[in-house]
Amino acid sequence: MDPEDPRLDQALLRGLTQRRISRRDALRYAGMGLGAAGLTAFLASCGVGSSSAAGSSSPANFDWSVQQLNHQLNFANWPYYIDTSHGTHPTLDTFKQQTGIQVNYKPVINDNQAFYAKISPELQQGKSTGWDIIVITNGAQLSELIDNDWLIPLDMSLLPNFTKYASDSIKNPSYDPGNKFSVTWQSGFTGLAYSPQATQALGREPTSLNDLWEPALAGHVGMMSDNTELGSIGLLKLGIEPSTSTPDDWNKAAEVLQQQKKDGIPLGYYDQGYVNKLENGDTWLTQAWSGDIFLANESGYPELKFVVPDEGVMFWHDNMLIPAGAEDPLDAITYMNYVYDPQVAAALANYIWYVTPVPDAKSIVAGLPGGKAVSESPLVFPDQAMYAKTHQYYVYKGTSDLNEWNSIFDPIITG
Amino acid sequence: MRLARRLAPYGLTGPGALWLVVFFLIPMFAMLVLSLETPLPTVGFKQAGYQFTWHFSQYSQAWSQYHVQFVRSLVYAGIVTAVTLVIGYPVAYWIAFKGGTQKTTYLFLILLPFFVSFVIRSLAWQFLLSSDGIVFSNLERIHVLPQGFHVLGTPTAVISGIAYNSLPFMVLPLYVSLEKVDRAVVEAASDLYASSREVFLKVILPLSIPGIFAGFLLTFIPAVGDYVNNDILGGTNTTMIGNIVQREFLNDQNYPLASALAFILMIGLMIGILIYARVLGTRQIEEYV
């Protein structure tokens, strides 16, 4: 045996005989490998399947004739959207007296998307959302609810007040032909609101959407973070009608909005909180919803004003819907009918100050305490001249349509 | 009997482990699966569900679309951590070394704002920082600040808001580690001719590194994912990754993209922290913690 034989080198032998993988390690890795293989098999079979509401109770074959009154109603709505007096809601109390139905009223909706995100998983599994009436603005969420069969179709024979008293502007709308699933709760306008500081900075009152692009107001302009509102205002500024716009138009509107951002004009993109920014004086001119400014005037900011821009306002509708799986649909439709009674509509209009769907309420409101000014305001009872200035939102044709709109306008907000 | 003894550790850790599995591992796994799925083609708005397709390009797409906001969140969080460290260390030092019998009172005072909701405190900051508010309009009037000064909507406002909310999370770990510094060691250092500056730099500071590390973890990670402060105090160029995930999830309902974003954030943070721990010296931390 040659002492120099490399096979006898101690270091080499130590290295060769060193344990690379012990038996325990081998078992562990094998187990992990099997686990991973099992996981991948599991993953491949994964994938949330398409929804299917339980067959027999599918809204499409909903039978109104077998429904019974349960004398209770779960009503989800937006805040400050119903008459309130000393902690109670007079119209709800009167409703209970007339029909015996107890309304469980909860102003839990602050945002269409957030609320929709809460109820859509339940609807997808065919479960009840816990609500009998929900109020959703016309837009992507409403179209999605309709397309997926998640709303109970309304029986017009149970809504005589609607047929008789509803305004023409909300009958047979483009987003819900024939009012198959929805009747409007209130409508509203998206226009401009400003404080005296804007008048001071501009040297005149703001009158046009172009004022939102004014360098004199740089850093003090508020825009909305709802990309439907934001995109529509961009389109209106360019003189394009949103309801008939095309993706090319959207790109042009996005360019204009990006330019506004580059010039440092908007302070930020806000949701309902835009009112606070206006009240605090951080923004001087902002996109605004008509009724909010009325409310701000009443809560200690009388100097704020809402103005209808020259280019026009966006006209939106908040609609009452009965979600699939609702437990008290007959009570719900009874309430919907009740709301279209002109007396009730007047009581609501006198508090809410958004556009009521019942024009006949005008004369009744004029007789209510504090109602004279409300009845004469074109923002609550629009006349023909006001209607001529309204524009409708673009109605998305489908998810891919919506995704295209989002991909064009989201970068402006999230930049 | 012997079996019971061998099973005892599992029995004791069982509930905790089960909680972790159910509320952490399973959701993480579900999110991972979701991030690799693509939506099935839809007709109109009819939801058709998702299909698992090993869609790894989702991650590169998420990064290319939102890397600006990722980096921005990391930068903001880094600044927040540095600011809270600079502000919080003297406070913790003072309470630990000079606090005397009132230590718990001082700690309670630092924690007092947390009795109020997080969102309400941020709203209060919006009120304080508003250009027309009490603070700034008066400062402008006495010409301490230039006319037209505004801070709301700038990165400064967002960073200040997050720093304010994170300060106790930096002060408390620092206090705990400074409390544990053996006073005898400090005394020994000065006996050996160390000046008070050297005592601090060479004895106290190194011994408090575990506290700095813990404070960093408790401050940096929530700061990166913060979205409330940007919502309330932010402007047009301060969007953080938390806002993006919220928008993708709730507004755009793009669940795969949002899950991918969340995972990138989580993995990125984990890797960063592992590196940071190595640099600081994990053995030191293990020894002291």
Model confidence pLDDT, tens digit, residues A21-34: 777 777 777 777 77
Of the candidates B36, B234, B247, the beta carbon closest to that of A268 is on B234
Q: What's the rounded Cα separation, in Å, for the pair A304 and A194?
A: 6
Of the candidates B43, B49, B150, the beta carbon closest to that of A47 is on B49
On the question of pLDDT at B288 being above 50, the answer is no
A44 touches chain B (CB under 8 A): yes
Q: What's the rounded Cα separation, in Å, for the pair B116 and A165?
A: 48
> Under an 8 A CB cutoff, do A46 and B253 touch?
no
Please give the DSSP secondary-structure letter assigned to residue A343.
Answer: H
A160 touches chain B (CB under 8 A): no
Q: Which residues of A touch B229 (CB under 8 A)?
A: none
> Under an 8 A CB cutoff, do B252 and A267 touch?
no
Q: Which residues of chain A have pLDDT under 70?
A: 1-4, 6, 35-58
Residues A114 and B253 sit within 8 Å (Cβ to Cβ): no
Q: What's the rounded Cα separation, in Å, for the pair B194 and B199?
A: 6
CA A202 to chain centre: 33
Q: Which residues of B touch A280 (CB under 8 A)?
A: 126-127, 130, 132-133
Of the candidates A46, A273, A415, the beta carbon closest to that of B236 is on A415
Q: Which of B248, B253, B255 to mutate to test the interface with A (most CBs of A within 10 A)?
A: B253
Mean pLDDT of the region B122-137: 82
pLDDT class for B9, splitting at 50, 70, 90? confident
Q: Which residues of A touch B255 (CB under 8 A)?
A: none
Angle between helices B118-129 and B155-179 in degrees, nearest 10: 130
Structural tokens at position B144: 């301490």
Of the candidates A267, A400, A410, the beta carbon closest to that of B153 is on A267
Structural tokens at position A164: 């008789």
A385 touches chain B (CB under 8 A): no
The closest of A48, A66, A69, A49 to A57, measured between CA atoms, is A66
The closest of A230, A175, A172 to A397, measured between CA atoms, is A175
> Under an 8 A CB cutoff, do A46 and B236 touch?
no
Q: What is the ipTM of this complex?
A: 0.74
Please give the DSSP secondary-structure letter assigned to residue A153.
Answer: P
Q: Which residues of A touch B127 (CB under 8 A)?
A: 280
Looking at A159-226, list the stretches that DSSP marks H as alpha helix, in order from N- to C-terminal side: 160-165, 196-202
> Under an 8 A CB cutoff, do B46 and A44 touch?
no
pLDDT for B25-39, tens place per residue? 898 888 888 888 888
Q: Which residues of A touch B243 (CB under 8 A)?
A: 414
Structural tokens at position A249: 């138009």
Residue B81: CA count within 13 A, CB half-sphere: 19
Q: Of A368 and B150, which is predicted with more confidence? A: A368
The predicted structure's pLDDT at residue A41? 61
Q: Which residues of A touch B133 (CB under 8 A)?
A: 280-281
> Under an 8 A CB cutoff, do B49 and A48 touch?
yes
Amino acid (1-letter code) at residue B56:
F
Please give the DSSP secondary-structure letter assigned to residue A204.
Answer: S
> Under an 8 A CB cutoff, do A113 and B51 touch?
no
Cα angle value A76/A77/A83 (rounded, 5°): 120
**A269 phi, psi to nearest 5 deg:** -115, 120
Q: Which residues sit opposite A323 in a β-bridge?
A: A151
> Under an 8 A CB cutoff, do A47 and B50 touch?
yes
The closest of A101, A86, A167 to A349, measured between CA atoms, is A167
In chain A the first and final C-alpha atoms are separated, in Å, by 77
Residues A236 and A311 sit within 8 Å (Cβ to Cβ): yes
> Under an 8 A CB cutoff, do B130 and A117 touch?
no
Structural tokens at position A108: 């839990």
